[in-house]
């Protein structure tokens, strides 16, 4: 998986999930778009599921990251603990340095 070695982010990096609404099949939940989180881990490199959904080969493979976001940053009225987080797996092309 040489693509992972070329991953743009490393664990601990702060990232912003793109606030985009392109048409078609998307794997990023709307409530997470535009939010800032922290890279928890690099999961590997995989074919792009947004391309696979339309019958393309999904290549080149893209780095997939586990991104940790505080729940209070997603839902301002969240009643749980301050340290509660949501972890989502997000492809690199949806992420930018925060």
Domain covering 2-78 assigned CATH 2.30.30.50 in the classification: yes
- Residue whose token pair is 């702060």: 14
For the chain of 98 residues, list the mean pLDDT of each consecutive stretch of 10.
76 97 84 97 94 93 97 94 95 96
The pLDDT value given to residue 2: 53
The pLDDT value given to residue 52: 93
Instruction: Determine the longest span between alpha carbons in the chain, in angstroms.
Output: 43
Q: How confident is the prediction for the chain on average, in pLDDT?
A: 92
Give the ranges where the chain is alpha helix by DSSP (H): 2-5, 49-52, 71-74
* Domain spans in the chain, listed from the N-terminal domain onward: 2-78
Q: In the chain, count H helices and then E strands.
A: 3, 5
Q: Which residues on adjacent β-strands are paired with residue 67?
A: 39, 88
Contact 63, 37 (CB under 8 A): no
Would you call the peptide bond into 89 cis, given omega within 30 degrees of 0 as the criterion?
no
Bridge-based pairing state of the strands 95-97 and 14-17: antiparallel
The pLDDT value given to residue 6: 84
The pLDDT value given to residue 16: 98
């Amino acid at each position: 998986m040489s693509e992972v070695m070329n991953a743009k982010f490393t664990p601990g990096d702060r990232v912003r999930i793109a606030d985009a609404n392109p048409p078609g099949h998307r794997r990023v939940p709307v409530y997470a778009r535009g939010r800032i989180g922290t890279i928890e881990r690099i999961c590997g490199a995989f074919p792009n599921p947004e391309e696979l959904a339309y019958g393309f080969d999904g290549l080149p493979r893209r780095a997939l990251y586990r991104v940790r976001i505080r729940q209070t940053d997603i839902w301002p009225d969240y009643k749980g603990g301050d340290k509660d987080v949501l972890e989502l797996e997000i492809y690199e092309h949806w992420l930018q340095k925060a």
